[in-house]
Structure formats: C-alpha cells, structure tokens
Chain A
Amino acid sequence: EAQVTQNPRYLITVTGKKLTVTCSQNMNHEYMSWYRQDPGLGLRQIYYSMNVEVTDKGDVPEGYKVSRKEKRNFPLILESPSPNQTSLYFCASSYGSWGSGELFFGEGSRLTVL
C-alpha cells in the first residue's frame, strides 16, 4: 500500500531534549516536505527536499533541521525543542515537485513540548 509513515504519532517531551520525527515513503517520490499545523494558521511549510541531498527552507524553518540521505526518508530534527514548537506535524511527498498537485500526507505527529 502506497503511504507516508511518520513516527512517533504522539510525543510529549521537555524543553531542550533533542528529538527526531521520522518520515518514510514507499512511492519512490523525489519531493518531500514537512509542515506544521496550528489552529487558525493552517499548514505552514518547515522544510522541503526536491531530491536526495537537496533540502531548502520553507516559511518557518527556525528551530528545525532536516536531512535527505536516502530517497525514501526525510527526518525532522528538533535539536533543542521549545514550547512554541508544540504542534501537529505532517510529512508529505509527491512525484516530481509538488507541482504535480498530488501531495501525499502522512497521518501526522502530535508533539507537546513542556
């Protein structure tokens, strides 16, 4: 089954404790992206990757890092999480760039930073 898989789905952590949210897709997509969703703000793009070893900042990259060492994986790293990073995070992928129109989203990872 074609899917984007995120882990963990739920996480409660404390300020400053490094964490990684993994994202994996099995559709051989070149493009992958991370979004955060906050009430009233919609989905805001954090980072995206057009292909392996190519990553770029989205609209809200501060406090986050990403890497794209393999085509299928695109982990999101919070080196020193802070409470304002409490949010619902989505990973997404598409064939080519997003311009194909069909971004496939994971089920989301709800992160709480105390």
Chain B
Amino acid sequence: GQQLNQSPQSMFIQEGEDVSMNCTSSSIFNTWLWYKQDPGEGPVLLIALYKAGELTSNGRLTAQFGITRKDSFLNISASIPSDVGIYFCAGPGTSYGKLTFGQGTILTVHP
C-alpha cells in the first residue's frame, strides 16, 4: 500500500518554542490531511490541504502542501502544554475510500 513517512518520530520541546514536522509519500498525493490525537482520545482533523503549494493556517498551526505533491509540512508556533499529543499526516490510499496515515509524531511540551 501507500507509504507515508513522518519525521521526527518524537519531539521534546520547551513551552514557547516553535515546532516543525513533515511527512513524505512514496507517490503523488492530491490531498494531505493533518490530524492530532490527544492522550486517550481519537484523532481530530487539524488542517486539510487540496492543492500543491497551498499554505493553510489554523490558529498557531500552519501546514503546507509540497510542490512535488509528495510531501507536506506542519508547523506549530509558540507551543503551549495543550499541544501535547500525537500528530498524524494522512493521504489517499491506493483505491477510492482508502485513507493512509503516517506513523505519527509524538510531541511533548515541557512547561
């Protein structure tokens, strides 16, 4: 199936720092999604990207759809303790209806 590689696998940062993570695909995507999973809960959609080069913000979060259509980036500015969780990228699978997720980036924010 589709392969999505996220990096880094985990991050330990101080409150107030900016965060960057990325996701690469083995094939071209026409949609990139970013989800966040709070501890003990299901993932929640943060940002959806539908066009190569697109840059979309949601509060302190900014995501970009890479020009090559094989990568995407998520940035969090001025991190706060509630940013803690697992961040997943996702994109279409090999057939309609399939959605593939990356391995996730575990974010820990120290107060």
> Which residues from chain B sit less than 8 Å from chain A, CB to CB?
1, 4, 6, 9, 31, 33, 35, 40-45, 48, 88, 90, 92-93, 95-104
Contacts and interface: CB of A to CB of B under 8 A. Distances in A.
A74 interface: no
A1 interface: no
Contacts of B4: 42
A101 B97 contact: no
Contacts of A99: 31, 92
A58 B1 CA distance: 9
23 contacts: A33-B99, A40-B9, A42-B101, A43-B43, A43-B88, A45-B98, A45-B101, A48-B97, A48-B99, A56-B98, A59-B1, A59-B98, A59-B100, A92-B42, A97-B97, A99-B31, A101-B33, A101-B45, A102-B45, A102-B48, A103-B43, A105-B42, A106-B42
B87 to A, nearest CB: 11
A108 B99 contact: no
Interface string A73-110: 00000000000000000101000011101110111100
Interface of A: 4, 31, 33, 35, 40-45, 48, 50, 56, 58-59, 90, 92, 97-99, 101-103, 105-108
Q: Which 8 residue pairs of A and B lie closest in terms of their CB atoms, listed nearest first?
A: A105-B42, A101-B48, A43-B101, A42-B103, A59-B1, A42-B101, A98-B99, A42-B104
A56 to B, nearest CB: 6
Contacts of B42: 4, 90, 92, 105-108
